[in-house]
């Protein structure tokens, strides 16, 4: 049995750095098929993009582009079947990894919840910068949504997501694993593969854990000390560009009405069950919505 492991340059933010967070390996079985798998050695999910530059004695039958979400640990990928008596599959491939889906199917009309307590009156606010997103420089083409807020106000998830980063007033650890350089921020991976940052939010109760699934309308934390606004940044990486792609979300501003918010509005927050439950399983609807 032959086995090969390929380490690659890991794409983090907009800089290529050498890392060993992902290993792609393959094994030949006794009939000559080639079975692929990947190890994600980080603590949170990554997305793998893999493509072949040469194939012999086999064919690649997966949907293109081949993009696979890798949970922490080992992940099965696919099998290249032996299709010739002349020999086992032979190939050359290349790979990249991303912290978001690099080709997500984004629904711009998805109804995000205004992330405050239902019944609260909230004013959107124009965001003039996203200083600290990644060092002193702002990313090109950035977009963000803001809401006026007061210290200690509860903050709820605008959409279902998986916790991938929690930061307090300072950052520690290996910078190669950071999603951004913001402090007092919580980052979630959303079901469509995009990332959302809740800036100026802290988890004072320490109830959040990495990879924890959070439902729309579920408590995330509270507005951090000294902050007067909550900032939401939604973005993803791209297969075709090194520039991050930012998204302006639409929010549920009243029952049955979804729109991009602006600073001229005053919104009375609503979190109806029919919106909270859009991305829940039946079991989750029974658990969280008592349905």
User: Left (φ > 0), alpha (ψ -120 to 50) or beta: where does 242 sit?
Assistant: alpha
Q: How far apart are CA 234 and CA 87, in angstroms?
A: 48
- Please report which confidence band the pLDDT of residue 222 belongs to, taking 50, 70 and 90 as the band edges: very high
State residue 201's pLDDT score: 98
13 pLDDT band (50/70/90 cuts)? very low
**Which segments of 64-214 does DSSP mark as H helices, in order?**
none
Give me the chain's average pLDDT, please.
Answer: 91
Q: What is the pLDDT of residues 142-201, one digit of tens each?
A: 999 999 999 999 999 999 999 999 999 988 877 878 999 999 999 999 999 999 999 999
Mean pLDDT across 14-42: 81
Say if residues 165 and 184 touch (Cβ distance below 8 Å): no
Local confidence band at 138 (pLDDT 50, 70, 90 cut-offs): confident
pLDDT 10s digits, 247-272: 999 999 999 999 999 999 999 999 99
What pLDDT sits at residue 176? 79
Instruction: Work out the percent of the chain whose per-residue pLDDT is above 90.
Output: 84
For 17, the enclosing helix (H) or strand (E) is strand 15-18
Q: E strand or H helix at 276, and its extent?
A: helix 273-276
Confidence of residue 290 (pLDDT cuts 50, 70, 90): confident
> Which pLDDT score, from 0 to 100, does residue 9 have?
32
| pLDDT classification of 14: cutoffs 50, 70, 90 | very low
Compute the distance between CA of residue 253 and CA of residue 113 in angstroms, rounded to an integer: 8
The structure tokens listed for 153 are 């106000």
Q: Give the domain 3-98 fold.
A: Immunoglobulin-like (2.60.40)
Q: Quickly count: other Cβ atoms within 10 Å of residue 103's Cβ.
A: 16
Q: Which residue has the higher pLDDT, 37 or 16?
A: 37
CATH of 111-289, picked from 2.70.70, 1.10.3470, 3.90.320, 2.60.40, is 2.70.70
Question: What are the structural domain ranges in the chain?
Answer: 3-98, 111-289
Whole-Å CA distances, 117 to 102, 129, 198, 220: 33, 26, 15, 11
Q: Is the pLDDT of residue 1 over 90?
A: no
């Amino acid at each position: 049995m032959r086995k090969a492991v390929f380490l690659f340059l890991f794409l983090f933010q907009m800089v290529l750095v050498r890392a060993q967070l992902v290993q792609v390996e393959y094994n030949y079985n006794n009939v000559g098929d080639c079975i692929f798998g990947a190890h994600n050695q980080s603590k949170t999910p990554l997305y793998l993009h893999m493509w072949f530059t040469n194939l012999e004695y086999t064919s690649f039958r997966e949907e293109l582009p081949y993009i696979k979400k890798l949970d922490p640990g080992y992940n099965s990928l696919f099998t290249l079947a032996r299709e010739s008596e002349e020999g086992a599959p032979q190939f050359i491939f290349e790979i990249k990894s991303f912290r978001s889906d690099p080709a997500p199917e984004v629904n711009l009309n998805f109804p995000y919840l205004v992330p405050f307590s239902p019944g609260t009156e909230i004013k959107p606010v124009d965001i003039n910068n996203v200083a600290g997103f990644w060092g002193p420089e702002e990313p090109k083409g950035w977009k963000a949504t803001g809401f006026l807020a007061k210290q200690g106000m509860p903050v709820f998830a605008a959409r279902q997501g998986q916790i991938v980063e929690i930061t307090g007033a300072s950052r520690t650890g290996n910078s190669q694993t950071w999603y951004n350089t913001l402090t007092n921020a919580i980052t979630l991976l959303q079901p469509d593969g995009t990332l959302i940052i809740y800036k100026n939010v802290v988890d004072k109760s320490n109830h959040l854990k990495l990879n924890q699934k959070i439902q729309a309308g579920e408590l995330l934390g509270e507005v951090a000390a000294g902050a007067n606004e909550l900032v939401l940044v939604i973005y993803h990486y791209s297969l075709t560009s090194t520039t991050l792609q930012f998204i302006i979300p639409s929010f549920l501003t009243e029952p049955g009405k979804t729109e991009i918010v602006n600073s001229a509005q005053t919104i009375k927050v609503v979190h109806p069950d029919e919106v909270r439950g859009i991305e829940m399983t039946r079991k989750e609807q029974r658990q969280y919505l008592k349905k």
